[in-house]
Amino acid sequence: MRVIFPFVAILVCVLPARHGTSQEIPEELLTVAEKSGWRATEHHADVVELMNRLDAASELAHVETAGTTSEGRSIPILVIADPPVENPNETGGRLTVFAWGGIHSGEVCGKPATLMLARELVTTPNHPLLKDLVVLLLPLLNADGNERMSPDNRPGQDGPVEGMGIRANAMGLNINRDFTKLDAPETRAVLHVLNRWDPAVAIDLHTTNGSRHRYVLTYDGHRHPASDDPLRALTKDKLLPWVTAEVRKNTGYEMFFYGNFDRTRTKWLIDDAMPRYSTHYLGLRHHMGILSEAYSYATYQDRVIASREFVRHCFQFVAVHKDDVRRIRDEAKRRTVELGNQPVEGNLVALRRESRLSDKPIEILGYDNPSPRGEAGEPKTYSVSSNDLNVATLSVPRPYAYIVPARLENVLDRLRAHGIEIGSLPQEGPIDVEVYRVESVRRLFEQRVYEGHSPVAVDVTVRREQKTLSAGTPIVRTGQPLGTLAAYLLEPQSEDGFCTWNFLDDDLAVGNDLPILRVPAVMDLETAVR
């Protein structure tokens, strides 16, 4: 059954009259999706060609390369601003916003959606979004997976009938499980953009093929309990409801929080809020992290248009509420720095968490059908509980700093890729530290490798002692904007940190001391920071 959503079809030869008189779109600026009558999607070469044409069509846009895939394909982004900017120092106080598509390249909606939004921005005179924002758009992240195009990929998804790419990248990795371990070059390309431009909001565009419901798109915000509370509330309680209402008013599309029915249709369940997923990782960096999931059973055209509208309205929220967004983000960064500079009792970092059902029921627009993934039946509204609450189950006191031995090259490389500042001890001498001893190790997946690793869960005990350390030993202070992220990655009991992903396996035996040390108390390290 094809699900029809109440949106007025847009002719592909006309730019929607959202900001004034409609404009005809030159054929060379149409997406493959539009030119094919929504039967096909773009190859990597099509994406690059259209981005270059948009660059050439307007002085407001320029193309940057965020990275290169393992097979050597470029990962370009469009930077759009009025007046134009070449680097982050030229924003003139405007906030930066970012969206990317194609992390799972069978889920193709974000690719043409971001290209169409880019075209609108560069061809509409005095576009209101560009008054307050610098817009970054990355249409195709998983370019290698995109080129494995086939009509047999993503069975059950409503188009494009001529084919789409695959979920994994060329290394066989799910990029959206890689945001803490950073094995994939595509993940590092996203981090390059985050570190370079520091966007206020970052949106990861997907397509869901789960439960049947009546939303053309569902979404989520970052939910990990280690992320900053006010910023998390701004995303979940302010931005997403505002966008929902504005999209409904302007398009007729219904959108809601992402989830799937359980078998009894009394619960609306969402994935774990683990930072290996982009959305929750973004929250630990003080970006407003947002997941977009277009509805797989809607038409390809509806999914693309809905994805574009969702991104535009998220950006619009940031523009309209720019002062609040800037203030809350600045306060989150400042709070993190202060917590690291003055660690005190009760200053904790959440390392493990669990999802819990909320007490307040929510209503989900679904269908009267006993099978969670069966064909859509008669419309029915369900009152359900959601498990979107995330509660810390293990937290540790935030230290002043971590000592990371230079031999841990994998760890140091990944810290730098995350954008975390690394200093060095200025001279040899004794330092009071905390040492972790391994008490237990268990493999999380005994029968298989998961994302190229054999993840582990570790329990430790801690003791204090004095160690003499050499000058030049790397040290990571938590008194920096990414200090919470640094602690989360370096703590061995973190459920998604470096220890989990096997980067400490050479030292991981019961009874061994782990090589990464904690500096619990404030010490004079000003001369140690490079």
Q: Where are the chain's structural domains?
A: 14-321, 351-392, 399-528
Element (H, E) at 388: none
Would you say 520 and 434 are in contact if contact means Cβ atoms under 8 Å apart? yes
Which residues partner with 137 through β-bridges?
Answer: 78, 99
What is 14-321's CATH superfamily? Answer: Zn peptidases (3.40.630.10)
Nearest to 110 by CA among 35, 208, 179: 208
SS3 256: strand
Angstrom CA distances, 297 to 285, 311, 367, stand at: 34, 20, 13
pTM of the model: 0.95
The span from the CA of 217 to the CA of 219, in Å, is 7
Nearest to 29 by CA among 99, 146, 115: 115
Element (H, E) at 24: strand 23-24
* Each residue's pLDDT expressed in tens, for the chain with a length of 530 residues: 455 565 433 333 444 433 333 468 999 999 999 999 999 999 999 999 999 999 999 999 999 999 999 999 999 999 999 999 999 999 999 999 999 999 999 999 999 999 999 999 999 999 999 999 999 999 999 999 999 999 999 999 999 999 999 999 999 999 999 999 999 999 999 999 999 999 999 999 999 989 999 999 999 999 999 999 999 999 999 999 999 999 999 999 999 999 999 999 999 999 999 999 999 999 999 999 999 999 999 999 999 999 999 999 999 999 999 999 999 999 999 999 999 999 888 999 999 999 999 989 999 999 997 554 556 689 999 999 999 999 999 999 999 999 999 999 999 999 999 999 999 999 999 999 999 999 999 999 887 899 999 999 999 999 999 999 999 999 999 999 999 999 999 999 999 999 999 999 999 999 999 999 999 999 876 544 33
The span from the CA of 358 to the CA of 487, in Å, is 28
β 255-257/95-100 pair status: unpaired
Q: Which conformational region is residue 217 in: left (phi greater than 0), alpha (psi within -120 to 50 degrees), or beta? A: beta
